[in-house]
Structure 1
Amino acid sequence: MQKTQWLQIQHELSLRKLIEGSEYQEELKYDFNIKGELRHLDTNESFVFNYYKNAHEQNHKRYQVLGHLITQYVYELLERVCMLQKVYIPTDATEDEPRSFFFMSENALTSSSSLIVLLQDRGVFRAGQWGQRTIVSEGLEHGTQIPFIKMALRSHGGVIVLNPNDNFIDLKTEKARLNFSTREESPTSMQSVWWIPKRGSSSPEEHTMYVWDHFISKSAAKNVAFIAHGYGGLAFVDLLMQRKWEVMNKVYSVAFIDSMHNTQHQTRSDPQIQEWIQKYCHEWVSNSKPLDKAVSSLMKVNCPTVSAGTEKYGLAPSCCLHTIFKYLKSTLKGKTTTAFRHSPVATRSSTSKKRGNK
């Protein structure tokens, strides 16, 4: 993303404003500069974790507050800079029921052009982020999904940004909590009574399936592509198993980035799904090899796997941004009109009948 674009963002929004509204104004004297990098307002240095001497818990709490404020800031960027709409789910939630949400572009469901769905890794971060640590250490360009969103809107028309880690609400703090916490943060039996799961989004898999069932599957887009990072890849393959024919007919391509999916284990030796993954999916992995160079996979059944051009897990998405969209463009161009059938073999006559019914 161009530096000027981050400059435009700075004029409209500021992380500093959010920090000033918290109790950590002095402890967190940071803001994003015109390059989208997090810097100290006085020293211009990058973020320092050890603010308090010999007080890990206090430093961790301070970092958590920063993470929460970055989450709010990215949400604002998605709505006010990327012009995405926040969609609350479940759609039939009662007034006092805990809700989750995701983001989508204005015409994502009504446009017949292709649709790109972003599915992040698991962690404390929320929609619009590839990784919180990466945002803190490397900046918005590398750690957020904004460059992907902008490119998707330019080249494909519609985009949906899933929010798979927004699984629970903590009644004590009324702040959303994540499903996959570190062991130290996991709720005890005493605490867990205060944690209420969000219906339809109590796990990344459930969230992905809910948005698929109620939005993506009903969209006018004939061609849907997924870009899935880390655990997001596992969540996608789970969706593929649960909604086999729907997904195989509507999704034309999947770009995995350091995916945690396991084709053999998850697909339960379903030959049709395994063949579909090999044909319509492509994976980029953190590796010392140059970008796009083939990388051997440990799994016997998998899709073509290439290097992301970096050994750093957190930088993998941003490093392969352009090559992923190049891949999606080429697969869309070469897409065949053959639809997947519930029968093992799609005959020529059945295909022509389908075309005739269009």
Structure 2
Amino acid sequence: MSEPSARNCQEAIARLREFGYAFNEAGQLRKIDKISGEPGEEPYEFKISDNQAKNQEHYEQLANQIPEIIYELLEKNGLKRTYIPKGVPIEHSTFVFSQPQPLSQSKKLLVLIHGSGYVLAGQWARRLIINNSLDHGTQLPYIQRAQKLGYDILVTNTNDTTRMIKGKRTPIKGLENSMTHAAYVWEHIIMPSQPKSVAIVAHSFGGAVSRALTEKYTKFFKEKVYAIALTDGTVGHPPAGCQKYFLDVTCNWVSSNEPLDTDLTQGDVAENITCVSAGHPEHEWTSYSAIESVFKFLEKKYEQHVKAKQVV
């Protein structure tokens, strides 16, 4: 049975040390040197046994300690938690992160949406966090770049959908899945904050979430959301009710051996989402690999959005 998630960052760090690992100053997970007691040079080793099930269990136990470390890093970078849904005990709720908290009339708001699976707020890919570094696998590089460019930020947490209540794993009411989580955040946090403009960066299944939000809140999107940047996003066809708009604001950086930004759009651009190479052939790497191009896209779309508003 997997080791439960740590309750806070200090507990997570202590548990990682029990596994024999710690993050070094470069954000790389390394085996602890037995002499110095500090992170050494050896990276994470998946194989600890000839039993594949034991190897995977060990990986999951270690990975369960990652979220609280990321949460503290988000807070150290100026983001704060908002607990949702409103009006329920904290222990029965989940949370998102934002800067500022609460959001209010953001000039530019960047919304980050991770993919499906085990990743939680602030993460793009657990495998990259564990095997490469925090910069490779977390959303921190996006957050720090956005801060420098004057964005307010909201980090979603769409996979955190259950809580242990009276010893039973129970869905969080109204936030039972990634779609309902995202819709709640949009209705109860983003829209009431009356942002002037909004951009989305979404990875993998976050693309499907972004598409669903566009369909559900089309009027708001057409008025406020000027860019949807997907990294290997699962999105399918553009929404029928707002196809032209969605195609105009969306670009998908897909996994590919081709150089970054190579046009990979399939079919007529009037009917299909613009796709370009993320500059890396592996799905998990696309957010990290495409960051420079993604922000160029966001800033270009923002300039176009501002000019269009001035004309009106």
The amino acid of 2:57's aligned partner reads K
Q: 1:44 — aligned with what?
A: 41
Q: 2:86 — aligned with what?
A: 91
Q: 1:291 — aligned with what?
A: 260
CA distance in 1, matches of 2:73, 2:106: 26
> In structure 2, which of residues 60, 64, 68 is the aligned counterpart of residue 72 of structure 1?
68
CA distance in 2, matches of 1:135, 1:275: 37
Q: 1:240 — aligned with what?
A: 214
2:265 and 2:272 in contact (8 A); partners too? no
Q: 2:24 — aligned with what?
A: 33
1:227 and 1:255 in contact (8 A); partners too? yes
Q: Residue 171 and residue 25 in structure 1: after superposition, are their counterparts in 2 closer, same or farther (change >3 A)?
A: farther
Tell me the alpha carbon deviations over residues 270-297 of structure 1, each in whole angstroms, 9 at most, x when there is no partner: 3xx1101111111111111111110133
> Is residue 2:306 matched to residue 1:315?
no
> In structure 1, which of residues 115, 122, 128 is the aligned counterpart of residue 116 of structure 2?
122
Tell me the alpha carbon deviations over residues 242-264 of structure 1, each in whole angstroms, 9 at most, x when there is no partner: 11112221111110110111125
The DSSP-based 3-state class of the residue aligned with 2:42 is coil
What's the TM-score, normalizing by structure 1? 0.77
The DSSP-based 3-state class of the residue aligned with 1:323 is helix
Q: Matched residue pairs, number?
A: 298
> In structure 2, which of residues 138, 154, 157 is the aligned counterpart of residue 160 of structure 1?
154
Q: Residue 297 and residue 113 in structure 1: after superposition, are their counterparts in 2 closer, same or farther (change >3 A)?
A: same
Identity across matched positions, percent: 30
Q: 1:216 — aligned with what?
A: 190
Q: 1:183 — aligned with what?
A: none
Q: Residue 337 and residue 73 in structure 1: after superposition, are their counterparts in 2 closer, same or farther (change >3 A)?
A: same
1:108 and 1:160 in contact (8 A); partners too? no
1:228-307 to 2 correspondences below 5 Å? 228-263=202-237, 267=239, 269-270=240-241, 273-297=242-266, 301-307=271-277
CA distance in 2, matches of 1:19, 1:220: 38
Tell me the alpha carbon deviations over residues 275-334 of structure 1, each in whole angstroms, 9 at most, x when there is no partner: 011111111111111111101336973222111111121111011111111111111111
1:255 and 1:283 in contact (8 A); partners too? yes
CA distance in 2, matches of 1:96, 1:223: 30
> In structure 2, which of residues 77, 80, 93 is the aligned counterpart of residue 82 of structure 1?
77
What's the TM-score, normalizing by structure 2? 0.88
Q: Residue 259 and residue 280 in structure 1: after superposition, are their counterparts in 2 closer, same or farther (change >3 A)?
A: same
> In structure 1, which of residues 187, 202, 206 is the aligned counterpart of residue 176 of structure 2?
202
Question: Greater CA radius of gyration, 1 or 2?
Answer: 1
1:104 and 1:159 in contact (8 A); partners too? yes
Q: Residue 320 and residue 294 in structure 1: after superposition, are their counterparts in 2 closer, same or farther (change >3 A)?
A: same
Query: Cα offset for 1:112?
Result: 3.5
The amino acid of 1:282's aligned partner reads C
Query: Cα offset for 1:241?
Result: 1.0
Tell me the alpha carbon deviations over residues 31-83 of structure 1, each in whole angstroms, 9 at most, x when there is no partner: 112221111112621111222x234343333222211211110011111x211
Worse overlay, 295-304 or 31-40: 295-304
The amino acid of 1:295's aligned partner reads L
Q: Residue 334 and residue 85 in structure 1: after superposition, are their counterparts in 2 closer, same or farther (change >3 A)?
A: same
In proportion to residue count, which structure has more strand?
2
Q: 2:125 — aligned with what?
A: 131
How large is the RMSD of aligned CA atoms in angstroms? 2.5
1:16 and 1:30 in contact (8 A); partners too? no
Tell me the alpha carbon deviations over residues 147-182 of structure 1, each in whole angstroms, 9 at most, x when there is no partner: 101111111330000000001124476xxxxxxxxx
